[in-house]
């Protein structure tokens, strides 16, 4: 039986990663703040969204809702308007719900306790650990897709790590003196060097300690398309819901509007179904009498 992989990156590996980060890490505006609320906003925005889109949206959102109290007091409709362009609108509503919990249960202060953070609406294990490490200096490892790939390869080699082993390795690998910078640094290594295909191992600060790099294996590029026709994104219900919400965002206040058909290739039936799904998610309100009259949720 092969020997078990080490449980964590050693101290000299951490030092190499942080030195690389100091010289080559991504300069992102939201990394300059230590305001726990602003950090929470950035981390919720970064869920399933490219960082380049988050940078502009984050500043715009904080201009509109500069404090957790301001966000908690807003209407869901105003929050959704400020979220324009980010997609996955339920994140915006969950962020506001989290703000209301923070005001009601934590005296308006983002909690530093990991359990309390994870209990907030829309805050999962990754987001809770990212906020705890970046905002409060907690030595906990936030595991996103990039971190999972970096540590899985460096510690687990070709076999990777099971989810429990991954979280344990992430927690044990945190640099205790710079936990927030460590969180950003490992993410940057994954985003820019330890890529899913054609990883840039020669430029990676972890190469000397990486079991995957030591195996001299390369990751094969993705196979080219087989030429089969894929469903156009415009034909998806997600696309339709996004267009409906954008139409409603353009209407100020609590005015009802009729969502006219067609939208793209979607007829009245598809629009009614999409409105029903959006209403169940709490994103829109639908007039109970006229099923295609709707507005963004106002309470």
**pLDDT tens digits for range 15-27:** 999 999 999 999 9
| pLDDT > 70? residue 226 | no
Paired with 296 in beta bridges are 284
Q: Who contacts 182 (Cβ-Cβ below 8 Å, separation ≥6)?
A: 14, 17, 18, 133, 173, 174, 175
- Please tell me the total number of residues recorded for the chain in this structure: 299
% of the chain with per-residue pLDDT over 90: 77
Identify the pLDDT of residue 290.
78
Could you tell me the strand order of the sheet in which 257-258 lies?
A: 257-258, 293-296, 284-286
Which two tokens mark 178? Answer: 């710079």
* Model confidence, pTM: 0.87
3-state secondary structure 252-282: CCCCCEECCCCECCECHHHHHHHHHHHHHCC
Closest by Cα among 24, 13, 1 to 211? 13
Residues marked as catalytic: 43
- Find tokens 């449980």 and name the residue: 7
Most confident of 34-43, 150-159, 265-274: 34-43
Identify the pLDDT of residue 217.
61
- Which DSSP category does 246 fall into? H
| pLDDT > 70? residue 276 | yes
Identify the pLDDT of residue 255.
87
Give the mean pLDDT of 63-84: 96
Identify the pLDDT of residue 159.
81
* 3-state secondary structure (DSSP) of residue 117: helix
Instruction: State the Cα–Cα distance between residues 299 and 292, nearest whole angstrom.
Output: 20
Instruction: State the Cα–Cα distance between residues 86 and 257, nearest whole angstrom.
Output: 23
Q: Which helix (H) or strand (E) holds 250?
A: none
| pLDDT > 90? residue 45 | yes
Give the mean pLDDT of 245-254: 89
| pLDDT > 90? residue 7 | no
Give the mean pLDDT of 165-191: 97
Per the omega criterion (within 30 degrees of 0), is the bond before 52 cis?
A: no
* 3-state secondary structure (DSSP) of residue 295: strand
The full set of domain ranges for the chain reads 11-214, 233-296
| pLDDT > 50? residue 91 | yes
Banded pLDDT at 223 (limits 50, 70, 90): low
Identify the pLDDT of residue 36.
98
Banded pLDDT at 227 (limits 50, 70, 90): very low
Give the mean pLDDT of 111-121: 97
Q: How far is CA 149 from CA 24, 69, 124, 146, 195, in A?
A: 19, 37, 19, 5, 8
b or e along 240-269 (b: 16 or more beta carbons within 10 Å of the residue's beta carbon)? bbbbbbeebbeeeeeeeeebeeebeebeee
Fold observed for domain 11-214: Endonuclease III; domain 1 (1.10.340)
Identify the pLDDT of residue 1.
46
Are the beta carbons of 120 and 93 closer than 8 angstroms?
no
């Amino acid at each position: 039986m092969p020997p078990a992989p080490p449980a964590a990156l050693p101290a000299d590996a951490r030092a190499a990663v942080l030195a690389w980060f100091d010289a080559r890490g991504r300069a992102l505006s939201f990394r300059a703040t230590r305001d726990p609320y602003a950090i929470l906003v950035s981390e919720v925005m970064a869920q399933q969204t490219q960082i380049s889109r988050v940078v502009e949206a984050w500043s715009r959102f904080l201009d509109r809702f500069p404090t957790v109290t301001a966000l908690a007091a807003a209407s869901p409709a105003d929050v959704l308007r400020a979220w324009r362009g980010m997609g996955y609108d339920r994140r915006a509503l969950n962020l506001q719900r989290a703000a209301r919990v923070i005001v009601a249960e934590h005296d308006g202060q983002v909690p530093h306790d990991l359990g309390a953070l994870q209990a907030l609406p829309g805050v999962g294990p990754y987001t809770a650990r990212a906020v705890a490490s970046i905002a409060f200096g907690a030595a906990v490892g936030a595991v996103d897709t990039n971190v999972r790939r970096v540590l899985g390869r460096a510690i687990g080699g070709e076999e990777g790590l099971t989810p429990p082993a991954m979280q344990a390795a992430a927690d044990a690998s945190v640099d205790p003196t710079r936990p927030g910078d460590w969180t950003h640094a490992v993410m940057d290594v994954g985003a820019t060097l330890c890529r899913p295909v054609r990883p840039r191992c020669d430029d990676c600060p972890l190469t000397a300690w990486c079991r995957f790099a030591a195996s001299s294996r390369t990751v094969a590029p993705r196979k080219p398309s087989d030429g089969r026709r894929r469903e156009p994104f415009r034909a998806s219900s997600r696309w339709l819901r996004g267009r409906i919400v954008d139409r409603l965002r353009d209407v100020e206040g609590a005015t009802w509007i009729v969502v006219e058909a067609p939208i793209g290739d979607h007829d009245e039936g598809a629009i009614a179904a999409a409105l029903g799904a959006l209403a169940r998610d709490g994103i829109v309100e639908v007039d109970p009498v006229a099923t295609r009259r709707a507005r963004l949720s106002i309470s």
